[in-house]
Amino acid sequence: MRVAPRDRLVSIELASARVRITQPAEIALYLKAFERLRALAVYGAAARALVARAVEVLD
């Protein structure tokens, strides 16, 4: 995966530290993971339905 110039840094905030990743190969891994999560995301009515189902399961 090619990393665009604007994607030169991944910053991860943890409870007690921050991790800064600048190596293109490592950044590419995070970009790929983010794209997978974005593909699974739901919005609007679908998001409300997902939350409602989760509430039903927890009740």
Rounded distance between C-alpha atoms, residue 4 and residue 55, angstroms: 40
Mean pLDDT of 50-57: 97
Decide if 24 is inside a domain: yes
pTM of the model: 0.68
Is residue 2 situated within a structural domain?
A: no
30-51 tens-digit pLDDT: 999 999 999 999 999 999 999 9
Backbone angles phi, psi at 12, to 5 degrees: -120, 120
**CA-to-CA distance for 58 and 23, rounded, in angstroms?**
42
Number of domains in the chain: 1
Percent of the chain with pLDDT over 70: 98
Domain that holds residue 43: 10-58
CB atoms under 10 Å from CB of 3, counted, come to 15
Whole-Å CA distances, 20 to 16, 17, 40: 14, 10, 26
